[in-house]
Structure 1
Amino acid sequence: MSVIEPLLRQPAAQAIGWALLHFLWQGTLVAGIAAVLLSMLRRSAADVRYVVASIALAVMLTMPVVTAVQMFQSADRSTNAILPRDDARTTSASGVRAPQPRPQTIDVGRGVMSVRSSVVAPQPSIVRLSRLLPTFMLVWLSGVLLLTLRLLTGWWWIHRLRTHGVAPASARLQQVAARLARKLHISGAVTLLESALVEVPTVVGWLKPVVLLPASALAGLAPQQLEAILAHEFAHIRRHDYLVNLLQMFVETLLFYHPAVWWLSRRIRHEREHCCDDLAVALCGDPVAYAGALADLEDVASAFRRKHRMTRKDLMPRHHFVAATGGSLLHRIRRLLGAPDAHDTHGPAWFGGGVAVLLVCGAVLAAQARQTPATTATSAAAPAQPAVAATTVVAATTVTKPAVASTRAPIATTIASTAPAAASTAVQRPGDDPAAAMAAAAARIREAADALRARASTMASAPAATAEARAAMDAAAARVGEVSQSIHNTQHGSSGNWVWSHNGEKLAVKYNGEFEFTDDDADVRWISPGGSLQISDAALIGRHTVEIRDTGAELQRRYWVNGSERPYEPEGRQWLHDHLPRFVRNTGIGAERRVARILKSGGPPAVLAEIGRIEGDYVKGVYYTQLFKQATLDPQTFRQTISQAGRDIHSDYGLATLLISIVDRLPADDQSRGTYFEAARGIRSDYELHRVYTSLLKRGPVSASLLAKVLQNATSIGSDYELSQLLQQIVAQQPLDSQTRGPFFAALETIGSDYERHRVLKAAVARPDVDDATIAAALQAAATGSSDYERASFLLETLKGHGIGGGARVPFFTALGRVQSGYERGRVLQAVARQPNASHDALLSALQSAKGMTGGYELAQVLTAVADTHTLTGDLREAYLDAADRLQGYDQGRVMTALVKSERRK
């Protein structure tokens, strides 16, 4: 300690030490403000809370820096303004003139004091803190060193994860990853690896991100679940969360001694997972399926840990990467069912920016409160010098100068200017219980997210478009509020819980055993022996609870209000009669028996009327499914029911699941199939729409008129991959004719990916019975792409499979003329030239196309291939010589030699 103590008593070190001590109250103040604001924003979107928490952490890092700079500059100016140069060498840290010969420093631990008093005694608390300051600094440095070692160890482990126990992911997963990267506009390369060392999908790296997929998850999750989890990981990459996480660990390392830093950093990590959950839900289209994927992933990870006898802490340093299972899994799953829209009226993005500005202003005002006006210190500096020289004790002072304030202003301005940018970055994104599934609120949330993504490109540049988008989001949020509903069901054997909420109303049922309701659903008819049923509105004030228990001889009924038992008759019975039917109807509990009872009494119209009274999409889907399953519907009633389901169910996943479940019962006539496709038009999710279309098309070819209508509707699919898969399935199933060819290639034109366009064109001409008109149309479509490689590859495939005779020659060479690459055009022309049965017109078109090539070597290769394979006379010879005139030197010589050899073969 004696060696390092002189260093710790230097002015800069003491300024840092006092700044770290001041941060104890500063950090508490910032954390308190952040906690209040986050509590106010608890019903707003996760990205708004994420911005507020991140800016609060940035303010925490900024405050000790600003304080240290101010104290160091103030101490330096105080020394120059108050102490004579000769006396400064003998002033102790507390301001007491000491006889020791070693140099002493000015203590910066005091606050601002007026120097109009010439003799001021040091405060005892300041003296004690000054003596302990070197010890505190040494402890702080030790903690920083240990945590830095922790960081370095973590980085070494992360680097090891990227190189040990890994293998390239399958081609299918690579395609899924490429599609997700396109949807999220991730321009950089993302490496996808299978790893035996991770338990959950994990993202490591920032500039060159790597997604590690555990082998156990690949075997234990369905393809759709893997895609949903991958969407979460790619959301981390799109948001640059790995870099933000590194900056968090930097702040945690420097300010480790304050609990508020760890609390706020943990809150940021939780909100980060919520933001990525929202983005993943927007991509996969269904919160319930995604929540199920999270739950299954946790099961797979738990099995992995049990197999290897590990805990979470045994596997890897958790804070050094971002993964799909961060945060509280149970809280995340519950949140997915009832999460508000990312831009609802409870917490708009501008409010997050305003909160950030308030945090910054609070930090600046707190710093200013510790200083006196600069004019006071400046005016008192001159007369104070004699007093200092004559007195024995002088307390250290902090002189405020305008320069100190000017150094603070740019920092505050920088933080304030970054607040709107951070908020803007956070909101640029497109937008539980697996057994209970999705209510109407989730459908409205996805609708608002889709509307936001559609307007995202115009919001940045057009204020009018911004206002229009905000109005649309507010309207969507209002519709969410009208039908906000959630259902939660937990079951363990013959016991469990049902919780239903709707616009503030709530009803919870806890049961043990089996039970059956009366026909009017207003009471309980039967409970299995020893079973019980408890029904409560779960209100904080005025809670009503009814408990019904089987006692062997009869059903015992009891009634409570606010925990106080009251007679069941008549108040309890009336409360149960008023609330139970709505609960039974809107939770889907006992739906199979209810539908059977209603069918028996009133037939399908009665069931449809009952469905009309149900408030949630998921439960409507359950009742529709039971209706199709239990009733024998004539074609007309079947079509009416499908149409009503398409209007009633707003959840993409719910409507798609229903339509797929009834496809085998669909009447075979075109009118019923047309109604089926018309109902599917309400689905906005590309993935779900593709699933529905595929399920019906798998039953066999459809009529040309119906297929034309399907192709026209398919243009609404925005995903290149999903539309490409659908078009490939169509041409593989049935040939195109004059009625379907136009809509087919019109749908193809909406695909932006050259790779997906090539896949569709290849499938269109791959049929053995393909006609010339379809080939010509495919060649015309190939001319509109932008990739020379994909266009040239398709032309080679067409040439090999069908040749270029008849009406295919002109569109073939038209498409070839769009190929700018000399290499790609050359390999197509060489293939044409090497066909021994190539027609005169085809060779002439090839030589004319070769004339437009830019590369001398590639042109020479084409001409020599023509001369080596064919005998050139007449206009072919003239075209050959015209092309050869573009060559020089060696290339021209070998081309002319090949022509001479060709003429000798006459």
Structure 2
Amino acid sequence: MAAEILTTAVSALAPAIPVMVDAAIKGAVIILVAALVTLLLRKRSAAARHATWTTSLVAQLLLPVLALLLPAWGRPVAVAPAWLVPAASAPAINSSTEGTALKFAETPASERAQSLVSPYVASKSAANTSPSTTEPPASPSSTDAAVVSPTSSVAPEASSTRSLLLWIGGLWAVGALLVLARLAVGTVGVARLARRGELVDDGAWLSLTQRLARGLGVARPTTLLRGGGVGVPVTWGVVYPVVLLPDDAADWPEERRRYVLVHELAHVKRFDAFTQLVAQIVVALFWFNPLVWLAAHRMRVEREHACDDYVLREGTTPSRYAHDLLELVRQLGTPTHASVPSAFAALAMARRSEFEGRMLSILDPVQDRHTLSRKTLAMSLALAALLIVPLAGFHPLQQRETRTTTVTRSVDGLAPITVTTIERSTPKGTTTRVVSSDSADSKQAVPVNTSEITTVSGPKAEKESCDRWRTARMKGTSRHIHSNTDDSDWKQVDYVANEATRCAEAHVTGNVSFSPDDTDVASLGPSGLVMLRERTDDADRRVVVREWEGKIEHSYTVDGARATFDDGARGWYARMLLEIVRELSIDAPKRIRRIHARGGVPAVLTDIDATRSGGAKSTAYKTLISIPALTSNDKERVLRAVTKETTLSSGDLSGVMRGLKGVPVVTQSTRSAIGDALDRISSSGDRKETLLALAPSADKELLLVLVRTASGLPSSGDKSGFLSQTASKYLSKGDSALRRAFFGAVATLPSSGDHARVLMDIMEHGRDDTSVVGDILQSVRGIASDGDKARVLTQVASEDLITTRALRDKYLEAARTISSSGDYRRVMEALLGNGSQL
């Protein structure tokens, strides 16, 4: 009975293994990024590094959930190993040897013929059985029946895969239970300490605790205990926090009491007990990932450093604090200070294993000890989400699947055809290979194209078409484009555009070429096909284009009935084909160059204006600006047209504008249009790169537009990067308007580090212009971090930029805004050390 329960439990866990492995791999990427970020933040506060490690662990915990909730994206690059695919997800195998008749209630017969038999197979089969017939049957009265006898070779190793998953699931469950058991034992140990401890009723302790809690903003009631044989102060509890003091705490001097309580209350304020619990849950779920253990350890270390920073910011002398911590550590293991709770169950003030690093941090005079502001924390979480959310939905592996299907197809006007296909999942999608195609009448094999054709990847789904246009148009305008090309340049493109007054549909298969004016098909090649359809309230028109014996044949129907392909039909066909060629960017580079050769830039812009698809517009613009014959006036005209586009995506708009770098802008209307277009680029990185591309050739008026746009960049790093790289454009001309606009943008930098970095990068411009130095000294006052502020001022002094009394006075005014005595001393020593006689 117990064995059955265990087997059932492990079987229930088995499907979760692929999800957990996927999340662990993605989590490893996030943790490595967090490690790199903390390395870059080694001179910043411990609170920032702790927040980075905590975010990585929370992301690891959320990844499995996000992967199930978010839509998948990304092109598969490999087939998933068999053991990584749950057996439950394998397609059902139909072992019936008798065919099953497939009935279609809504789809017209001509479309059903194309849905079950590949178009090129249908055309070749039809040609073989009836050479005089070049048009496919399109009569609504056509009847059909498909007999499908599937045999499946999907996952022949399904049994062994399931067995392997059961073993892996069992091993994972055992590891998770051991980690949780360790946490439970530690929690029981902490509870035992609490029972042995006595409630502190000393008025001096209680009043000091309340006073410090108010100063730190701790609103939750904190219980103070003493005893239990603990060697160092210990804190635990999320909702009702408890601080347990050693037995000899009553003999401590006032100063030690104060910084011990500050340290422990800092844990309470920062919800460290909760983040520690989250870390242990993550370790339990992903115990097999060593990077998770590393992140949990580093989070614990930075947590203690962050609480030490609270103590030092309260005015405690670092050397005295380090000395007392050393005394606490020395007492560990003595009879009266024997107990130290497990690191995963409670927050102890000192541990021997972490002591050396804490001493170095405490005694470091230049270490940043500020907490994270809410604004900085919110921005950091938003940046983290930009990595975590896309990564959660990324699926680089595809399920391995092989299916063999035999279809016998009978349609009016065509001999019955039997087609055997094999479909295999590959990183490119579903690969279909026609194995054999036999005429039911002649029983002779029909020569068919046996090359692999890549179709749309993903689960089988009904193709988009105009059949449900009357319902679809109620949801608004939409476009669906699926384009696939295999290694032999075989193309298959599907296009459906639902609009309020019409629906346009196209299917292009094979290596199709078009006439120079894109109004007719020039050649299709063997097995090629073009189907165009337009449905309106008045009519449903369709044309199927095939090639037979070197001649292009057009099969034209209206409302399902065959019609004469007269001049009116040819005009409609030419208009539809031009639209499809344009919207699908078919052979776009050659087509755009042909249009330019005929009518220049105006003709191309007119063609682009008639294009609805943003992707097609982007391709056309990029092709146009790559034409060597374009003049500067032509490029400005193109730039002006691009800035007015509203259908281009943010990335496409940025890409096209970057392609026009170096174009001189001479009209105010173009400058205004550029500013509006830049505001529509939502990606901070794309906007920054676009600004950098436009800046080198910009005149004064455009530079003012660019720097105003840069002020609105959401990323502090992108904003500082633009300002540092373009400083010479704004500061080397001696133009006060450009200089004021530049420093106005610098003042909007939210990051103290980025603010200081920009000011330090531009100091070379102060050698020839004292007004730049004055603006630097004015701007430095807006830096929040004393350490970053001191770095800028010491560099100003070390580079001998204080050359006038006015600059000296501004320097002193900026120095007086530094609250840290150590940083203030360094700033003043830098000024005096360079022999300033002012």
Q: TM-score range by the shorter chain?
A: 0.3 to 0.5
| Greater share of strand | 2
TM value normalised by structure 1: 0.43
Q: Which protein has the bigger helix share?
A: 1
Higher relative contact order (CA 8 A, sep 6+): 2
